[in-house]
């Protein structure tokens, strides 16, 4: 007979944290969110520690090189999506590793024959107000000029006016030569009173922009996550099919950490993949595995050699795996069981394997709950998809801006390897949806608020580190009636827009 677990499996919203004694010197500025990314032995520390306990999801609509740069600057890591060609993925990894603080590859570009209408559309779609004009409209094409809000007047100019007629052409611009240092670039910006300095190579191809507003950049990013060569740290998703070709290309590109991306990670495929990486790279590149939802799944991947284990099946905001296949488990219950298994494993073997809570985070307090329940860090898709830095289009729907967000199991992504059960190479049925999420602005601004809330809750618990939170937090189940009590209730909330 099948094993029936009669305990209900639960989600984050069914729990709350009970405050502990807050000491006078326990203030948010003293709270550290540092947390291990990869496994380590008792008495040692992890080779990579996150300074913010967030990683961005291995998804087309979330993690490209732009997101990876922005998140590493804030102390987290992006796992660049694997549902693209090996060459394209390796190229993105390289871009992150080559990123130089203050030098930004242009993300909004246009051709001279395009029109003012196109400029306005591009500005809306990308959110960027400085647009590079290149011969082929690419970020590294032959540089011809720039367009900013100062170059046109919507009240006077016709929408079909050609870009070449109103752009500021290269002849009228100060430019930096490729190879210039940030200090030199900033000197030109100050001397010429510029807002933007285009940096071009000998063939006049656009390489970067340096923005005046990024001056003193390094001071803005105290949590920046760097490798031994002062390059940003980056991760990448891999699958259990083409790893023998993909992993070498990613390692060659400089990837710091890999993660096997699968909706169900309790499989021999994952063990084979981990063993290949361990045998060929002897620990030089770390590899996380998953996803699992119970002790058995965790132990299997831990014993196979995983550097971290990802927890969660079916909880993602765009995920319909539970409806389609009937597999999964409430995220909180899955996390609690795996965290217990991780602690037991640590006691027994002296090896601490970090666990990552993946999917289903909706409210900021869910993050603190996940950490308190034992997660070392969390992977999020929806959260990051809402920001300027995610790779998808920003659209105006009705009177609200939204960003596109689609699942890897949707027809749009066609990431069949993630859902592969060993059969033919195709997506037989969808396990994800294509959706919109409310646009939320810049990653940094949102992250500051979110981490501020986490730190504040930790102070309420009287703890200043994630490990202390895990050891000391008191968590309680809540009834559905007390969930209502948690929001504004029995009052008429004022509409602050009026």
Q: How far apart, in whole angstroms, are the C-alpha atoms of residue 119 and residue 131?
A: 8
- Which has the closest alpha carbon to 164: 108, 117, 112, 120? 112
Closer to ligand RVP at the Cβ: 243 or 406?
Answer: 406
199 is in an annotated binding site: no
Q: Could you say whether residue 389 binds ligand RVP (CB under 6 A)?
A: no
Q: Known catalytic residue: 319?
A: yes
Q: Which residues 419-478 are close enough to bind ligand RVP by CB under 6 A?
A: 431-432
Closer to ligand RVP at the Cβ: 13 or 410?
Answer: 410
Q: How far apart, in whole angstroms, are the C-alpha atoms of residue 454 and residue 367?
A: 7
Q: How far is Cα of residue 207 from the mean position of the Cα atoms in its chain?
A: 25
Q: Taking the CA of residue 261 as centre, how many other CA atoms within 13 Å lie in the half-sphere pointing to its CB?
A: 30
Closer to ligand RVP at the Cβ: 66 or 316?
Answer: 316
Catalytic entry in 246, 259, 418, 461:
418
What does the radius of gyration of the chain's CA atoms come to, in whole angstroms?
A: 24
283 is in an annotated binding site: no
319 is in an annotated binding site: yes
Closer to ligand RVP at the Cβ: 109 or 415?
Answer: 415
Catalytic entry in 319, 356, 459, 461:
319
Q: Could you say whether residue 334 binds ligand RVP (CB under 6 A)?
A: no
Q: Could you say whether residue 380 binds ligand RVP (CB under 6 A)?
A: yes
When binding is defined by CB under 6 A, the residue of 257, 319, 332, 459 that contacts ligand RVP is 319
The structure tokens listed for 311 are 């927890």
313 is in an annotated binding site: yes
Only segment of 125-133, 317-325, 441-449, 481-489 that touches ligand RVP (CB under 6 A): 317-325
- CB burial of 280-311 (b: ≥16 within 10 Å; e: otherwise) equals eeeeebbbbbbbbbbeebbbbbbebbbbbbbb
262 is in an annotated binding site: yes
Interface with ligand RVP (CB under 6 A), residue total 22
111 CB-contact burial (10 Å; exposed 0-12 / middle 13-18 / buried 19+):
middle
435 is in an annotated binding site: no
Q: How far apart, in whole angstroms, are the C-alpha atoms of residue 178 and residue 201?
A: 5
Report DSSP letters for 16-34, one per residue. EEEP-PPPTT--GGG----
Q: Could you say whether residue 61 binds ligand RVP (CB under 6 A)?
A: no
Query: Sign of dihedral through CA atoms 465, 467, 471, 476?
Result: positive
Closer to ligand RVP at the Cβ: 358 or 420?
Answer: 358
Q: How far apart, in whole angstroms, are the C-alpha atoms of residue 270 and residue 417?
A: 12
CB of 433 to ligand RVP, least distance (A): 7
20 is in an annotated binding site: no
CB 288 within 8 A of CB 257: yes
Q: Could you say whether residue 317 binds ligand RVP (CB under 6 A)?
A: yes
Edge-to-edge, what's the strand order for the sheet holding 168-169?
109-110, 131-134, 143-147, 168-169
CB of 379 to ligand RVP, least distance (A): 5
Only segment of 42-50, 123-131, 316-324, 389-397 that touches ligand RVP (CB under 6 A): 316-324
CB of 443 to ligand RVP, least distance (A): 15
- Which has the closest alpha carbon to 253: 65, 429, 394? 65
Closer to ligand RVP at the Cβ: 147 or 385?
Answer: 385
Q: Could you say whether residue 316 binds ligand RVP (CB under 6 A)?
A: yes
Query: Sign of dihedral through CA atoms 312, 313, 314, 319?
Result: positive
Q: How far apart, in whole angstroms, are the C-alpha atoms of residue 83 and residue 63?
A: 11
Q: Could you say whether residue 358 binds ligand RVP (CB under 6 A)?
A: yes
Q: Known catalytic residue: 356?
A: no
Which residue numbers are catalytic? 319, 418
Q: Contact positions toward ligand RVP, by CB under 6 A?
A: 57, 59, 316-319, 321, 358-361, 379-383, 407-410, 431-432
Residue list for the binding site for NAD(+): 261-263, 312-314
């Amino acid at each position: 007979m099948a094993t029936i677990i009669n305990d209900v499996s639960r989600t984050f919203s069914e729990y709350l944290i009970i405050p502990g004694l807050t000491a006078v010197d326990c203030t948010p500025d003293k709270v550290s969110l540092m947390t291990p990314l990869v496994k380590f032995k008792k008495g040692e520390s992890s080779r990579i520690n996150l300074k913010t306990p967030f990683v961005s999801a291995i998804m087309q609509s979330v993690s490209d090189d732009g997101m990876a740069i922005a998140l590493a600057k804030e102390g987290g890591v992006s796992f660049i999506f694997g549902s693209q060609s090996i060459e394209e993925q390796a190229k993105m990894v390289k871009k992150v590793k080559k990123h130089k603080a203050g030098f930004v590859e242009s993300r909004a570009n246009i051709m001279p024959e395009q029109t003012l209408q196109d400029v306005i559309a591009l500005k809306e779609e990308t959110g960027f107000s400085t647009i590079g004009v290149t011969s082929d409209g690419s970020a590294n094409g032959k540089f011809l000029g720039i367009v900013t809000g100062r170059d046109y007047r919507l009240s006077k100019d016709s929408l079909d006016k050609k870009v070449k007629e109103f752009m500021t052409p290269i002849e009228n611009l100060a430019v930096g030569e490729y190879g210039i240092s940030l200090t030199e670039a900033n000197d030109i910006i100050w001397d010429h009173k510029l807002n933007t300095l285009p940096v071009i190579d000998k063939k006049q191809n656009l390489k970067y922009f340096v923005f005046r507003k990024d001056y003193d950049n390094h001071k803005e990013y105290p949590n920046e996550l760097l490798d031994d060569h002062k390059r940003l740290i980056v991760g990448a998703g891999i699958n259990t099919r083409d790893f023998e070709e993909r992993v070498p290309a990613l390692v060659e590109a400089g990837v710091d950490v890999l993660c096997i991306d699968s909706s169900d990670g309790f499989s021999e495929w994952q063990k084979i993949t981990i063993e290949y990486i361990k045998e060929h790279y002897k620990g030089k590149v770390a590899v996380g595995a998953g996803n699992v939802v119970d002790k058995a799944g965790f132990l299997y991947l831990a014993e196979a050699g995983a550097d971290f284990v990802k927890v969660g099946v079916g909880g993602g905001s765009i995920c319909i795996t539970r409806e389609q296949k009937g597999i999964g488990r409430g995220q909180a219950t899955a996390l609690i069981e795996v965290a217990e298994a991780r602690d037991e494993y640590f006691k027994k073997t002296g090896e601490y394997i970090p666990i990552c809570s993946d999917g289903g985070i909706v409210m900021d307090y869910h993050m603190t709950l996940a950490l308190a329940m034992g997660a070392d860090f969390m992977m999020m898709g929806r959260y990051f998809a809402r920001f300027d830095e995610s790779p998808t289009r920003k659209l105006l729907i009705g009177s609200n801006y939204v960003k596109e967000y689609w699942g890897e199991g949707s027809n749009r992504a066609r990431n069949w390897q993630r859902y592969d059960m060993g059969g033919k190479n195709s997506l037989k049925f969808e396990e994800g949806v294509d959706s919109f999420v409310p646009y939320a602005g810049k990653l940094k601004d949102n992250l500051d608020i979110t981490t501020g809330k986490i730190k504040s809750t930790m102070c309420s618990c009287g703890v200043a580190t994630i490990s202390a939170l895990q050891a000391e937090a008191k968590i309680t189940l809540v009834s559905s009636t007390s969930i209502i009590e948690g929001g504004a209730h029995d009052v008429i909330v004022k509409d602050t827009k009026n």
